[in-house]
Amino acid sequence: QSALTQPASVSGSPRQSITISCTGTSSDVGAYNYVSWYQQHPGKAPKLMIYDVTNRPSGVSNRFSGSKSGNTASLTISGLQAEDEAIYYCSSYTGTSTVLFGGGTKLTVL
């Protein structure tokens, strides 16, 4: 299976909002509400930011929100801060008891 499709890069200024898309198929993103988003800083392990499409784990800022429409999920970060600069990955359950990750989106805070 091919990785979920994410834009290679997005950028925004502090205090602005950005949205990162994650496109799959009707067999993964479109079929299940098991979409997650991870933040990864250089040299660190990924950190869970959103699960089940829209849920935030305890301790994650409410500036992070998730949504889904059809085969595309989205992560929105509002009120951008310098510390948000990282690579963001989406993932989805595929229906065959496996998980697929996206290729990653590098967020630059200008």
Partner 1 sequence: QVQLVESGGGVVQPGTSLRLSCTASGFTFSSYGLHWVRQAPGKGPEWVAVMSHDGSNKYYADSVKARFTISRDNSKSTLYLQMNSLRPEDTAVYYCAKEERVYYYSYAMDVWGQGTTVTVSS
Around Cβ 69, how many Cβ atoms within 10 Å? 10
- Pick out residues in 10-29 that bind partner 1 (CB under 8 A): none
Q: How far apart are the first and last CA of the chain?
A: 35
Query: CB of residue 19 vs partner 1: minimum separation in angstroms?
Result: 19
Rounded CA-CA distance 14/73 in Å is 24
Token pair listed for 106? 């590098």
- Per-residue binding letters, 30-69, with partner 1 (x by CB under 8 A): ----x-x-x------xxxx--xx----x------------
Q: Which of 19, 17, 25 is nearest to 7 (CA)?
A: 19
- Residue identified by tokens 């992070």 is 64
Position 2 contacts partner 1 (CB under 8 A)? no
- What are residue 90's DSSP bridge partners? 37
Q: Among the candidate windows 15-23, 61-69, 77-85, 89-97, which touches partner 1 by CB under 8 A?
A: 89-97
Query: CB of residue 97 vs partner 1: minimum separation in angstroms?
Result: 4
Query: CB of residue 36 vs partner 1: minimum separation in angstroms?
Result: 4
- What are residue 93's DSSP bridge partners? 99
Write out the residues near partner 1 by the rule CB under 8 A: 1, 3, 34, 36, 38, 45-48, 51-52, 57, 87, 89, 91-93, 97-104
